Amino acid sequence: MLRRTRWLVAVAVTATALGAVPGGPASAEPGHTAPVSSVKAGAGGTTHTITLLTGDVVTVHSSGSRCPQASVEPARPNAVFHQSCGPDGHLHVVPVSVASKIGPILDPDLFDVTTLIAEGYDDESTPTLPVIVQPAVQAARVAALADVRQLPLIEAVAGHVPKKSEATAKLATDSLLAGAKKVWLDRKVRATGLTTTRPGNAAPIAGKQHGSGLDWNLDQISAPDAWKAGYTGKGVRVAVLDTGADFTHPDLAGRVVEKADFTVEGGDAVDHNGHGTHTASTIAGTGAAAHGQRRGVAPDAQLVIGKVLDDNGFGDDSQIIKAVEWAAERADVVNMSLGGEAPDDGNDPLALAVDAASRKSGALFVISSGNNGGAISAPGSAATALTVGAVDRDGKLAGFSSRGPLVDTSVAKPELVAPGVDIVAARAAGTNLQDPIDQYYEGLTGTSMAAPHVAGAAALLAQRHPDWKADRLKAALVGAADPMTGVDPYAVGAGRLDAVRALSGPTSNQSAPDLGTFTYPQSGTAATTLTWTGDTGPATVNLDLDVTAVNHDGTAAPRGAVTLTTSKVKVKRGSTASTTLRINRAALAASPGYHLATVTARSSGHKLVATTPVSFYVEPRSFDLTVNTKPMADTAEGADNFVGVLVTNLDDPLISAGGAFFEQGKSVTVRVAAGRYAVTAGYSSYDPTTDAQQGAYVGDTDVAINGDRSITLDPAAARPVTATVDGAPTAPILTSFVYQQTTKNGLSWWNSVTGLGGGAKVSVSPLRKPSIGSLRAYSTFYLQSPQGTANPYAYDLVHEYTGGVPADPAYRVSKAEQARLARIDERFNQVDSPEMFTSLRRAIFAPDGLYLTQLRNFDLPTNRTAYLSPGYLYVDEAVYGGLPAQEQVRSYQPGSRQSKIWARQPLHSDWADGIVTKGDVLPCATAPARTRGNLHLDLVMLTDQHGRADCLQGGGIGLNRTLSLYRDGKLVDERNASRADFTVPQQAADYRVTFDLDTSLILPVSTKVNTSWTFRSAGPTGTGSVPLPLLAVDYALPMDAGNHIVGGTGEFTVRQAQGVPAQKVTSFQVWTSTDDGKTWKGARATRDGGAYRVELPSPKAGQAVSLRVKAGASGGSGIDQTIIRAYRAG
């Protein structure tokens, strides 16, 4: 059965042949790769490379919240990939060879490249991929892993898979998978205290209330009343798994009885972050540094400190799992103010470890819910954990507090809430996380601060009942909470923490039962038994019971929908009384959604004794949709044949189901609400014996579901997607079908099937326009001339299917249509540096910026003629070894002709403007500009032509740079950067920007480039910005394909910034040097129209020529640029 998903998963099938992949070699052997550094891109984008578990390398350009653009280079020839992305912006890249293992064995996060980047597992950040493996056989434990660590709590091991190795890929996909029961990504976990500063209008964080002399948070939870009753946590051990602790802090003196460091072998567990000290003192601080006023909730409890988060507040699942087992063996209560980022249903390995440890030892784990205001992640998702949200000083829910239900369930978490805003507690020496009060105290905010309040209250209760285990402690604390009204019940659970109520009188025996889903149609009754146990005192307590129920949004359930079998019970000394909660499902038929029934027990005088929340989900009018898939025809015996089915709601694509890969010919059933859906499937077949591969997209874009229904998807209806050019023989290197469907709420999803190489077949069935929303469909093609053609050519084509996809999707380019194609005469030089080969990535977008496809070609001919479909948007990015050269987006007119030369030396520093951002087109560069008080610079370290950006704002290994800004001759600031912002006055002034670049560690040419720009500028009025009037120089030297000079005359052109008044170039000078700049000789420059022609020396064997160029303009702008070793002798 298909799993229910929280977001749309759009499948793309990518088939690769002969090692040809987008962003990888089109005709080279695997491994012939030019790695791209991780760089910050303009408009908020980044570029990363990620090596998957299988050894396949994905290059990803991220564009904020939109779906990233990706290309894949397989570890071995001939591979098939599924790509998927939905409204959440997460990109999944799944090799077909392991598709059937995703879910049952392999953690989907291992192929979620967005998550891998966010977790810091991209290739620029780490050379290994950390995993947690539950082995099915002992031999699999170390077959593909390094640095193996045992995790007996979940019968698993943790280790690292080395990247970028064919042998590694074989181990990972063969040895590891053959013996693995489950393989998870070893995810990052972080502290759940907010690190942002408080709003300026926030109340003073050190304020007192109720005249107790204590901070408000202690009074809010009635901690002083518990102390007066004699309960201070004495004799109870509380473990704190966090960033360690400051053991020298006066408030923790004498409180810590044991410690361990899980972040580094032999570590001292000292807190250099501050988070752990704060949480530990909230639990059991003595308040010694504040004369007892700022004490913990359980000031006499003993602390067991486990440092599981590093000094930046981050840790790994595996190291925390080790600590969970350690802590559970040593403490009655364990506080974990930490969590991951991904929503979890309780099956994350860290959540499973918490459950296993709690059930084995009886220790209660108290865990923060998280600070994203959305779904709860692990370990707060653990079933046995007491998960805690946050409220402020007024007892109101904090907006950042994460809430339930747990993803894909109706489980209510957090079970309760506690103070978590502006909490003052101990400050670790030398730290400053948020709001320091003085040397010893700091105010922090987050669910991290709420959890230790509950852990402290649990210590008080454990002192009162030393024989109680986790389930009794949790149930009693949840039951003792103060109910909250007018708020999402799934955000607060039973309500606000009360630390004293559970210490006497009857207590609840269940925390927050979940009754699951009530499937449509609604009929009959659901029931659960609730019990309370009397205190050890002799008195009999009469309890009055009441029940209310509200929907997720706070709407009350219909009258009579929830009832109790009895409204009164008697609880005697140590005995148990019960009632049955009954839910009339038929009464809730008109109120579908998540519900929480709250049963309250009160004693005489209407005194609250216990609160029990019960969760359930009422399914709306829903039906079974069975999707039958027929197998692809003409596939070889033994081929890997898989299909991925998606069912997407046409009113809201966030309501969807799918993501499962299974064998073709099988059927799946998914439960969907009545409505209209797109039912689609991405087929793929790969024969490892013959390299034959096929990809097909099949489906119906508009299916009405008003009852149980069966639909059959048949790839026989699909026809080949092909392109032919009349009179021009071609060979396909990429064929792609791209499909986007948009619902009436404006959200879209895309699917694509891409084949690379002549042996890859792509097919698509007819697709009609839906009755709801819109449909867009395109085919794109990269065609090249047959091998050995004297004058190589290429066709980069786009064909739009208006009105839906027809029965025959083939595209024929007639002679008349050929005349409308844009022509580019391309020349590809090679930088005069070993292994610095030139490749070209061309990305294609629809006129409105919708991303269609891209391809990176290696082994390019020196000269080639390219023909492109006019009217579309293109972004060309050459890569010289590891140096990008990204042009700005361009659209070509029908029948136009232009020329481009790539990798022509000298490489020099520059800037780019004319930046266009449109749809998915997000260039990496930003134009130099200024506002009334800020001056923005974005310089290109190395480029071959003005307007091309190197996308290396983040720097690179072996590239040493210094950027300086002067105003009226005085230094404003100096940065180790190429992109920077400077605060400057609005008044007009003379500016000078210097940019010094040293590449001598990695390059034999352009080893040092020193550039000075001068200009006069004033800030605009208002909030707008204006371009900076900078000059640039383009160098057109007579070079052969190897960048060796073949003539004596070069052409130099002075470029000016767009959007500012044009200046007259008043001076232009050139000097040359053949001794690396020790001596210079003037060169004659002759003006020729808009350019200057300069006689240049031809270097002798072993020599290099350096250049210095200086130009000035009438408006005060100038440029002075020196390039050491601009070109060398051949």
Residue ending a domain, choose from 618, 634, 650: 618
**The token pair that represents 890 in the structure block:** 């361009």
Residue 202 lies in a domain: no
Please tell me the distance from the alpha carbon of residue 1100 to that of residue 895, in angstroms, as a whole number: 45
- pLDDT for residue 940: 97
Using an 8 Å Cβ cutoff, are 274 and 432 in contact? yes
* Cα three-residue angle 691-693-697, rounded to 5 degrees: 170
Using an 8 Å Cβ cutoff, are 450 and 489 in contact? no
- Complete DSSP assignment for 483-526: P--SS-HHHHTT-B--TTGGGSS-EES-S--EEEEEPSSP-SEE
- pLDDT for residue 405: 93
Composition of the chain by helix, strand, coil, percent to 5: 10, 45, 45
Residue 1027 lies in a domain: yes
Helix (H, G, I), strand (E, B) or coil at 111: helix
Nearest to 108 by CA among 881, 734, 659: 659
In the chain, what is the greatest distance between 2 CA atoms, to the nearest angstrom? 110
Are both 246 and 167 inside the same structural domain? no
Residue 236 lies in a domain: yes
Please tell me the distance from the alpha carbon of residue 952 to that of residue 572, in angstroms, as a whole number: 74
Residue 527 lies in a domain: yes
Are both 162 and 232 inside the same structural domain? no
Please tell me the distance from the alpha carbon of residue 543 to that of residue 570, in angstroms, as a whole number: 6
Are both 427 and 557 inside the same structural domain? no
- Complete DSSP assignment for 117-182: HHTT-STTT-SEEEEEEEESSGGGGTSS-EEEEEEGGGTEEEEEEESS-HHHHHIIIIIIHHHEEE
* CA distances for 931 relative to 525, 911, 937, angstroms: 67, 18, 12
Are both 468 and 533 inside the same structural domain? no
- pLDDT for residue 176: 67
* CA distances for 187 relative to 17, 104, 190, 895, 1093, angstroms: 33, 18, 10, 53, 59
Helix (H, G, I), strand (E, B) or coil at 616: strand
Give this prediction's pTM: 0.81
Domain that holds residue 605: 514-518+521-618
Using an 8 Å Cβ cutoff, are 982 and 973 in contact? yes
Are both 918 and 952 inside the same structural domain? yes
Nearest to 251 by CA among 224, 225, 233, 278: 278
Using an 8 Å Cβ cutoff, are 928 and 915 in contact? no
Residue 864 lies in a domain: no
Are both 85 and 224 inside the same structural domain? no
Are both 353 and 468 inside the same structural domain? yes
Please tell me the distance from the alpha carbon of residue 761 to that of residue 815, in angstroms, as a whole number: 26
Phi, psi for residue 735 in degrees, rounded to 5: -130, 125
Burial of 426 (0-12, 13-18, 19+ CB in 10 A): buried
Give the HSE-up count for residue 406: Cα atoms under 13 Å, Cβ half-sphere.
24
Helix (H, G, I), strand (E, B) or coil at 471: helix
**Strand pairing of 760-764 and 693-705?**
parallel
Using an 8 Å Cβ cutoff, are 336 and 192 in contact? no
Residues of the chain under the 70 pLDDT cut: 1-45, 63-66, 76-80, 87, 137-144, 164-178, 193-213, 657-660, 691
Using an 8 Å Cβ cutoff, are 60 and 73 in contact? no
Are both 453 and 558 inside the same structural domain? no
Residues with active-site annotation: 242, 275, 448
Residue 973 lies in a domain: yes
Taking the CB of residue 620, how many other CB atoms lie within 10 A of it? 16
Length reported for the chain:
1130
Per-residue buried b or exposed e for 985-1017, using 16+ beta carbons within 10 Å of the residue's own CB: eeeebebbbbbbbbbeebbebbbbbbbbbbbeb
Residue 336 lies in a domain: yes
Are both 146 and 285 inside the same structural domain? no
Taking the CB of residue 415, how many other CB atoms lie within 10 A of it? 27
**The token pair that represents 565 in the structure block:** 């079998």
- pLDDT for residue 206: 43
**The token pair that represents 784 in the structure block:** 């090249």
Alpha carbon distance, N-terminus to C-terminus of the chain: 66
- pLDDT for residue 77: 58
Are both 187 and 221 inside the same structural domain? no
Please tell me the distance from the alpha carbon of residue 1028 to that of residue 1057, in angstroms, as a whole number: 7
Using an 8 Å Cβ cutoff, are 612 and 596 in contact? no
Q: Using CA atoms of 139, 143, 146, 149 in order, give the dihedral in degrees to the nearest 10.
A: -20
Q: Return the bridge partners of 915, or none.
A: none
- pLDDT for residue 179: 74
Are both 173 and 221 inside the same structural domain? no
- pLDDT for residue 53: 85
Per DSSP, 728 falls in state B
Residue ending a domain, choose from 175, 191, 207: 191
E strand map for 188-249: 188-191, 237-242
Please tell me the distance from the alpha carbon of residue 253 to that of residue 259, in angstroms, as a whole number: 14
- pLDDT for residue 43: 42
Residues whose CB falls within 8 Å of the CB of residue 124, separated by 6 or more in sequence, listed in order: 37, 38, 48, 49
- Name the domain count of the chain: 4
The region, left, alpha or beta by phi > 0 then psi within -120 to 50, assigned to residue 363 is: beta
* CA distances for 351 relative to 34, 314, 339, 501, 873, angstroms: 40, 17, 10, 29, 47
Taking the CB of residue 753, how many other CB atoms lie within 10 A of it? 32
Are both 1053 and 983 inside the same structural domain? yes
Residue ending a domain, choose from 618, 638, 655: 618
CATH code at position 540: 2.60.40.2310
- pLDDT for residue 201: 37
Q: Using CA atoms of 881, 885, 889, 890 in order, give the dihedral in degrees to the nearest 10.
A: -90
Please tell me the distance from the alpha carbon of residue 1058 to that of residue 1071, in angstroms, as a whole number: 28
Residue 567 lies in a domain: yes
Please tell me the distance from the alpha carbon of residue 478 to that of residue 404, in angstroms, as a whole number: 16
